[in-house]
Amino acid sequence: MSDGIPYLRVVVGATIAAIVGYAFFSGWAVLWSDDPALRGDVIGTWKSFAVLAFGFWLGSSSAGKAKP
């Protein structure tokens, strides 16, 4: 972990905890819930997260390579 970003361990830990918590909730919502709207909302959230992760990867992998 870098000392340049204050509280980096706290930020990373909270992010991991949030993703793991939402993963457990998602498992319950998709596997045991009888509410189709809740299932669709949870699946849509994971799809949005995947698009965001891909966009971040694409943007960071091409950073500094663009010519003006």
Token digits of residue 54: 């891909």
Q: What is the pTM of this model?
A: 0.68
Distance CA 16, CA 63 (A): 25
User: In the prediction, which pLDDT does 61 show?
Assistant: 79
Residues in the chain where the model's pLDDT stays below 70: 1-6, 63-68
User: In the prediction, which pLDDT does 11 show?
Assistant: 87
Quick check: 30 and 39 in contact, CB under 8 A? yes
User: In the prediction, which pLDDT does 56 show?
Assistant: 87
| Domain definitions of the chain by residue range | 8-61
User: In the prediction, which pLDDT does 1 show?
Assistant: 54
